[in-house]
Chains A and B, each alone.
Chain A
Amino acid sequence: MEYKNVGQRDKRYDGLAHVTGKTRYVDDVVIPGMLAVKALRSPVTKGKVKKIDTAAAQKTAGLAAVITPQDVPANGFGPMGPEQPVLAQDIRFKGEPLAAVAAADEDTAMEAISRIKVDIEEEKGVMDPLEAMKPEAPKVRAEGNLFMFGDKPYREIISGNLEAGFKEADEIVEADYVESSYEHTALETQCSVAVPEANGKLTIYTVSQCPWFHIGPLCGVLKMPMSKVRFIGGTVGGGFGGKNDIHADHITALLALKTGKPVKWRWTREEELLFSTHRGAWHIHFKDGVKKNGRIVARQVRSIRDSGAYTSLNPYGVEIHCLVVNGPYHIPNVHIQGYLVYTNKPLSMSMRGFAINEANYATEVQMNRLASAINMDPWDIRFINAYRNGDKMPVGKVLDSVALIEVMQALAQKAGIALPAQCQTMTSAKREVQP
Chain B
Amino acid sequence: MKYTLSFTLNGLPVEILVKPTETLLDVLRHQMNVKSPKRGCNTGDCGACTVLLNGEPIRSCITLALTVAGQSITSLEGLAEGGRLHPLQKSFHDHNAIQCGFCTPGMIMAARALLDKNPSPTIEDIKKGLSGNLCRCTGYAKIIDAVLAAGKEMAAKKT
Choose from A9, A12, A186, A236 the contact partner of B98 (Cβ within 8 Å): A12
Given contacts A19-B85, A186-B102, contact A268 B36 (CB under 8 A): no
Q: Does B39 contact A (CB under 8 A)?
A: yes
How far does the alpha carbon of A185 sit from the alpha carbon of B103 in the complex, in Å? 12
B48 at the interface (CB under 8 A from A): yes
Chain A contact residue count (CB 8 A cutoff): 32
**Nearest A residue to B90, CB-CB:** A19
Interface contact A19-B92, CB-CB below 8 Å: yes
Distance of A25 Cα from B37 Cα, bound (Å):
12
| A25:B38 contact, CB within 8 angstroms | yes
> Given A27-B38, A269-B42, A14–B101 Cβ distance below 8 Å?
yes
- Complex formed: what's the CA distance from A207 to B135 in Å? 18
Q: What residue in chain B is nearest A107 (Cβ atoms)? A: B21
Q: Is there contact, CB below 8 Å, between A237 and B100?
A: yes
The chain B residue sitting closest to A188, CB to CB, is: B102
Give the A-B pair count, Cβ closer than 8 A: 93
Question: Measured between alpha carbons, how far is A20 from B84 in the docked complex, in Å?
Answer: 11
Contact across chains for B100 and A186 when beta carbons are under 8 A apart: yes
In the bound complex, how far is the Cα of B36 from the Cα of A239, in angstroms? Answer: 19
Residue from B30, B41, B105 within 8 A of A21 (CB atoms): B105
With A12-B93, A19-B93, A20-B80 in contact, is A188–B98 under 8 Å at CB? no
**Cβ of A16: which chain B residues have Cβ within 8 Å of it?**
93
Any chain B CB within 8 A of the CB of A56? no
Taken together as a complex, chains A and B put the C-alpha atoms of A28 and B39 apart, in Å, by: 10
> Chain A nearest CB: distance from B127 CB in Å?
19
* B116 at interface, CB cutoff 8 A: no
The reply to whether B102 and A11 form a contact with Cβ atoms under 8 Å apart is no
B102 contacts across to A, CB distance below 8 A: 25, 186-188, 237-238
Q: How far is the CB of B86 from chain A (nearest CB, A)?
A: 9
Q: Which of B31-74 contact A (CB under 8 A)?
A: 35-36, 38-43, 45-46, 48
Closest to B47 in A: A187
**Residue in A14, A235, A238 whose Cβ sees the most chain B Cβ within 10 Å:** A238
| Shortest distance from the beta carbon of B84 to any chain A beta carbon, whole Å | 11
Q: A18-B93, A20-B76, A187-B102 are in contact. List 13 more A-B contacts (CB 8 A).
A: A11-B96, A14-B101, A18-B104, A19-B85, A20-B85, A21-B104, A21-B105, A24-B35, A185-B134, A187-B48, A187-B134, A188-B38, A238-B99
B positions within 8 Å CB-CB of A: 29-30, 35-36, 38-43, 45-46, 48, 75-77, 80, 85, 89-90, 92-94, 96, 98-105, 108, 134-137
